[in-house]
Structure 1
Amino acid sequence: MKEPNKTLLDKMRLDKWLWAARFFKTRSLATQAIEQGRVNLAGERVKPAREVRPGDRLNLHVGDSDWTITVRALSMQRGPAPVAQALYEEDAASHARRQQQVSERELAASPAAAIKGRPTKRDRRLIHRFTDE
């Protein structure tokens, strides 16, 4: 009986790697992002089945964040976050840009913050006075 090949991976599908690296919750979401042009490999638009290798540079647009990363390792399975973070290395400029985006979002007023919930008795009286009820 033959023993399965236990060599390290040298290439794998891009959508599967994005899923394993925890950029997307499912492979189908990773596939959609690639097809919509939110993932570029070496500055070029690619297809989900494109093979990715260690050393490849990816530009990702995930949610409100833009990532510029270098693939460090490949994994066939999705593991815990610390293991997934070891699969890539983010550029210093990309990290600084993301931190800037986070701080800008924190400073911006949330539309939900303006809504307090149910009006108080005083608010209700003012509303009724305004609407002449």
Structure 2
Amino acid sequence: MRVDKYLWCIRYFKTRSIATKACKEGKVRVNGDLIKPSREIYPMDKITVRKNQVNYELVVLDTPDNRIGAKLVDIYRKDTTPTESLQKLDLLKYSKDYYRKKGTGRPTKKDRRDIDDWFIEKPTEDNDDSEE
């Protein structure tokens, strides 16, 4: 089976054309060698895929006939990705800046609420004395 088709079948890439593009860009290695998308893979080949700034490492156990369900992926590959790489992925998620930079456009709904909360005066006990 072709390596691009295999990566698509085991759901590392959403489409086969994306898998082919990754192979052409040098983000996929088989047994440490840069490969073309048409490279045949066999059981016990070691594949390294660079995706989302993480190097995923996997061992081919078998080749599926067609794209398979997510629950069946472990039948066809063994994931040997180091835990440090996966922890790096978690840190990347936390380090993303979810807010826009200062001065770039209108405030969002959340920003507006925060501004309103800042300027709203909270009642104090001094205001309660005026009722007597």
TM-score normalised per structure 2: 0.72
**C-alpha separation in 1, matches of 2:46 and 2:16:** 20
**1:83 Cα offset (Å):** 1.0
Alpha carbons of 1:123 and 1:51: their partners in 2 closer, same or farther (altered >3 Å)?
A: same
Residue 98 of structure 2 is matched in structure 1 by 112
RMSD: 2.5
Q: Which runs of 5+ in 2 are unaligned?
A: 102-106, 117-132
Alpha carbons of 1:111 and 1:54: their partners in 2 closer, same or farther (altered >3 Å)?
A: same
**C-alpha separation in 2, matches of 1:113 and 1:101:** 21
Map 1:1-133 to 2 at 5 A: 12-91=1-80, 94-108=81-95, 110-113=96-99, 117-118=108-109, 119-120=111-112, 123=115
**1:58 Cα offset (Å):** 0.7
**Residues 63 and 76 of structure 2 are in contact (CA less than 8 Å); yes or no, is this contact kept in structure 1?**
yes
**1:31 Cα offset (Å):** 0.3
**C-alpha separation in 1, matches of 2:87 and 2:114:** 41
Give 1:18's aligned amino acid: L
Alpha carbons of 1:41 and 1:123: their partners in 2 closer, same or farther (altered >3 Å)?
A: same
- How many residues get paired? 111
**Residues 54 and 86 of structure 2 are in contact (CA less than 8 Å); yes or no, is this contact kept in structure 1?**
no
Percentage of identical aligned residues: 25
Counterpart secondary structure, 2:38: coil
